[in-house]
Amino acid sequence: MKALLSVILLGSALILAGCGRKAPEGAAAETTHIHKDVPPHGGTVVALGDDYNLELVRDGDAGTLSAYVLDDEMEEFIRVRDPAITIVAQAGGQDQTLVLAAVANSATGETVGDTSLFQAQADWLKSTPKFSGTLQRITIRGTPFATVHFDFPAGSAKE
């Protein structure tokens, strides 16, 4: 019995260590949250420093690009104050400017100036599944991120 308890405790410790999060004191291992760092919409991840991510989702039929602001583990949506964000894409040998407007959502209480979702529509997105891009600027919780380069749909990795 003592050996079994030791194995359970060791296994729990290894799982928690792999996650990078600690269980609250007194919490059982079964209630500890384990994350996978997976974009919630299956999109392209653009790392913004160590603490945030932008998930880009292209809808080729509609010609839209949506950008979701997320935490470092892609579990929580982060609301920002920017009314829009701009991406300059290099597609087909030309620069294409996308101005992604803040999207309000009455179901979540998000408003322009307090939202985690931005969206733009452009006809060239209908026929261009791959492009290089540069996020011009976004400010998240007082921290500005500017000139962030990425490839779509490959994304960018945290350094």
C-alpha angle 86/122/42, rounded to 5°?
75
pLDDT greater than 80 at residue 140: yes
- pLDDT score at 142: 96
68 within domain boundaries = yes
pLDDT in tens, 26-59: 444 444 445 567 999 999 999 999 999 999 999 9
7 plus 68 within the same structural domain: no
pLDDT greater than 90 at residue 128: yes
157 within domain boundaries = no
| CATH number of the domain that residue 130 is part of | 2.60.40
49 within domain boundaries = yes
- pLDDT score at 37: 79
- pLDDT score at 29: 43
- pLDDT score at 65: 98
25 plus 52 within the same structural domain: no
26 plus 55 within the same structural domain: no
Q: What is the reported pTM?
A: 0.77
pLDDT greater than 80 at residue 146: yes
pLDDT greater than 60 at residue 84: yes
The total number of structural domains in the chain stands at: 2
- Provide CB contacts within 8 A for 27, sequence distance 6+: none
13 within domain boundaries = yes
71 plus 114 within the same structural domain: yes
18 plus 59 within the same structural domain: no
27 plus 59 within the same structural domain: no
pLDDT greater than 80 at residue 122: yes
15 plus 87 within the same structural domain: no
- pLDDT score at 71: 97
Reported as a pLDDT band with limits 50, 70 and 90, residue 159 is low
158 within domain boundaries = no
For range 67-94, the mean pLDDT: 96
Amino acid residing at 56: L
- Provide CB contacts within 8 A for 144, sequence distance 6+: 137, 138
Give the closest residue to 135 by CA, choosing from 151, 150, 118, 148: 148
26 within domain boundaries = yes
36 within domain boundaries = no
pLDDT greater than 60 at residue 7: no
Domain containing 18: what range? 2-31
For range 7-21, the mean pLDDT: 43
Amino acid residing at 50: D
* Mean pLDDT score across all residues of the chain: 84
